[in-house]
Amino acid sequence: MIRVQKSATIPEPLPTKGKKARKLDCTAYSRNVEAFHSGEKTFKSDRNIYTHAKVKRQLVIDQYGKCCYCERRIGDKGDVEHFRPKGAVQQASGNPLIKPGYYWLAYDWNNLYLSCSVCNQHHKQNHFPLIDPETRALNHKGKIEKESRLIIDPSQDNPEEHIGFRGASAYEITPAGKATISVLQLNDVTLEDDRLNYLKYLKICYKILENSRKDTGNLIARELIADATQLLDEAVQPTAKYSAAARSAIETQFQYVSD
């Protein structure tokens, strides 16, 4: 995960149609509180609003076409993910679903991210763990600012303060990092293998760079130094996939990356 700098300008139709839809949902809830909590009634959030082309395009730009959680490159093929689940919420796997979820944030720009389908549909789903579940906002009158959330918010937190990497493996620095790694399965075998293969490629660039420096008088060596330097510099930029793992690997001189 890396820090996401979201656009200060909220894309349409969130501030217009989204605002109206939120008001209607809040009114409906206030009239049928028990029905929504029991699941007898549910909110039919308008996907045409929160997945609108303008919304998704801005998320792609803000996140450099990467999943906000695992850093896979997904371009415009990802899902528009609700950080706080809109339909129902779960403290942990096996726990009962709490309904109706954060319905009032369905069109909130700060609650929307671009996520790959694996992270969104298979891992995170309705999970939103809190340190103290008693602080959870249960309706639009609640204060999410009072929630003691565990999962890392990519635009509000600096993920590198919570999650580190030893080679391709993510490890927790804080309890929030531990919970986020667990919920999002950031050490899933397929994901970790893909990160490792990428880091092995970068390690080769690093070795080329180090070995070529011994013969800087050679034209080919100088060209290799320039190419390897550029590739390693690009790998740590926020635009690159797995940039958090790459930055850690380079800083530790690839000591945790096997050949």
Give 164-179 pLDDT, tens digit per residue: 999 999 999 999 999 9
Picking from 81, 74, 75, 73, the residue whose alpha carbon sits closest to that of residue 120 is: 81
What are the angstrom distances between the C-alpha of 199 and each of 193, 238, 241? 10, 16, 11
Query: At 216, is the pLDDT very low, low, confident or very high (cuts 50, 70, 90)?
Result: low
Answer whether residue 241 is part of any domain: yes
In a domain, 184, yes or no: no
Extended beta strands in 135-190, E state: 163-166, 169-172
Predicted local distance difference test score (pLDDT) of residue 219? 72
Per-residue confidence (pLDDT) for residue 225, from 0 to 100: 86
Average pLDDT for residues 77-97, to the nearest whole number?
A: 96
Weakest-pLDDT range from 29-33, 43-47, 60-64, 213-217: 213-217
- Tokens, residue 8: 């200060």
User: Does residue 159 lie in a domain region?
Assistant: no
Residue-range definition of the domain harbouring residue 204: 189-251
Task: Assess whether 83 and 205 both reside in one domain.
Answer: no
* Residues 161 and 183: beta-carbon distance below 8 Å: no
19 and 114, same domain (yes or no): yes
**SS3 state of residue 239:** coil
120 and 200 inside one domain: no
Residue 157 located in a structural domain: no
For 16-51, write each residue's pLDDT tens digit: 999 999 999 999 999 999 999 999 999 999 999 999
Q: Two tokens at 194?
A: 């893909």
Domains identified in the chain, total number: 2
pTM: 0.93
Query: Which has more confidence, 225 or 83?
Result: 83
Query: Are residues 113 and 26 located together in one domain of the fold?
Result: yes
The tens digit of pLDDT for each residue in 97-142 reads: 999 999 999 999 999 999 999 999 999 999 999 999 999 999 999 9
The reply to whether 117 and 240 lie within a common domain is: no
Q: Which of 66-80, 162-176, 217-231 has the lowest mean pLDDT?
A: 217-231
**Domain assignment present for 63:** yes
Mean pLDDT for all residues in the chain: 95
Please name the helix (run of DSSP H) or strand (run of DSSP E) that holds residue 178, with its range, or none: helix 175-184
Same domain for 136 and 42: yes
